[in-house]
Amino acid sequence: MMRMRDHPILSRLIPWVLFWVFFAWGWRVRNPFTHIPAYGDVLEVLWGIEWYHRSILVQHTSPLFTPLAFHPLGWHTATLAYTPILFLLALPIREVGGLAFAYNVLAILVLVIAFAGAFRLTRLFLSWEMAAIAALVFTFWRMCWDWVGGHLNMTWISGLLPWMAYGIERAKRSKGLAQWR
Give per-residue pLDDT as tens, 51-68: 999 999 999 988 988 888
Higher pLDDT, 39 or 156: 156
At residue 83, the pLDDT reads 81
Whether residue 178 lies inside any domain: the answer is no
Whether residue 20 lies inside any domain: the answer is no
Q: Report the domain count for the chain.
A: 1
Write out the residue range of the structural domain in which residue 107 sits: 30-168
Whether residue 61 lies inside any domain: the answer is yes
Which residues does 119 contact at the CB level (< 8 Å), separation at least 6?
15, 131, 132, 134, 135
The maximal CA–CA distance of the chain, rounded, in angstroms, is 76
